[in-house]
């Protein structure tokens, strides 16, 4: 019976099946295989630590990500600042007459943040008079004044967004910046100074109202033009101290 079990024990390559009785007399050890890792490229130049990591399967620690060309954009492009677009919008605000051929609706339909912010900051700087706290106050009036105009426009049925109002109100401070040198010249003449101030306020209010007050307001236009006019009077008072 023992011989019969030996006779029918199959073998397959390196494995040999033995009977349970023979297995008691078998002993031995398993040697670790000699594994060689072949690395293509300039592996001969790698340091000992690099070779050690690669052989142990940690080569991914040495991989360096390739820089995406899109990550190397200029700073202005990263901040979404288009100087040509800002310059065009400035000209649209300073020259609001339709006969000049500017597409003024781009100021409203394509609002941006950095252009109006730069205008407001510049207006704040010329309004300092040694008091830096006026900068934060003018920015606050710009933000909340624009919010008031936006809410009023929505109540009256206007299809405008807060971003559009914020941009238009900010850009339309440019006329007040333009008249500031004139006020320094004619400051000693009360009548002439008042005329220049009214001209600047009307210029700024007309530029903003012509962009924000569309045909959808119809007979309600004065309800929106009036608070815009008052807002620029207040901005001018922050500059002149009146």
The ranges assigned to domains in the chain are 2-62, 79-240
Nearest to 208 by CA among 179, 165, 177: 165
pTM above 0.75, yes or no: no
pLDDT tens string 128-161: 665 666 778 888 899 999 999 999 888 887 788 8
One-character DSSP codes across 63-111 = --PPPPGGGG--HHHHTT--HHHHHHHHHHHH---GGG---THHHHHS-
Q: Is 137 left (phi over 0), alpha (psi -120 to 50) or beta?
A: alpha
pLDDT at 151: 92
Rounded CA-CA distance 231/235 in Å is: 6
Residues of the chain with pLDDT under 70: 1-47, 49, 52-79, 128-133, 216-218, 240-242
- Long-range (24+ apart) CB contacts under 8 A made by 89-93 are 89/115, 89/171, 90/115, 90/119, 90/171, 90/174, 93/171, 93/172, 93/174, 93/175, 93/207
Instruction: Decide if 157 contacts 103 (C-beta within 8 A).
Output: no
Q: What is the mean pLDDT of the chain?
A: 75
**3-class state of residue 16 by DSSP:** strand
Sign of CA dihedral 103, 116, 217, 236: negative
Nearest to 231 by CA among 170, 177, 167, 159: 170
pLDDT tens string 219-242: 777 888 899 999 999 988 887 664
Two tokens at 216?
Answer: 């959808």
Write the DSSP symbol of residue 33: P
Rounded CA-CA distance 130/195 in Å is: 26
């Amino acid at each position: 019976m023992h011989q019969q079990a030996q006779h029918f024990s199959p073998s397959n390559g390196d494995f040999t099946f033995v009977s349970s009785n023979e297995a008691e007399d078998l002993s031995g050890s398993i040697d670790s295989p000699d594994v060689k890792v072949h690395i293509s490229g300039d592996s001969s130049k790698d340091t000992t630590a690099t070779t050690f990591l690669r052989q142990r399967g940690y080569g991914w620690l040495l991989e360096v990500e390739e820089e995406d060309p899109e990550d190397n954009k200029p700073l202005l492009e990263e901040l979404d600042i288009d100087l040509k677009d800002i310059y065009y919008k400035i000209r649209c605000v300073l020259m609001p007459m339709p006969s000049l051929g500017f597409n003024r609706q781009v100021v409203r339909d394509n609002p941006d943040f950095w252009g109006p912010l730069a205008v407001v900051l510049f207006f704040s700087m010329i309004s300092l008079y040694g008091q830096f706290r006026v900068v934060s106050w003018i920015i606050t009036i710009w933000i909340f004044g624009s919010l008031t105009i936006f809410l009023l426009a929505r109540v009256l049925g206007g299809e405008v967004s807060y971003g559009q109002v914020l941009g238009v109100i900010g850009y339309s401070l440019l006329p007040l910046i333009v008249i500031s040198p004139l006020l320094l010249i004619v400051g000693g003449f009360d009548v002439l100074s008042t005329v220049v101030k009214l001209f600047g306020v009307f210029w700024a209010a007309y530029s903003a109202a012509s962009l924000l007050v569309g045909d959808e307001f119809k007979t309600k236009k004065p309800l929106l033009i009036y608070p815009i006019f008052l807002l620029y009077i207040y901005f001018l008072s922050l500059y002149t101290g009146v």
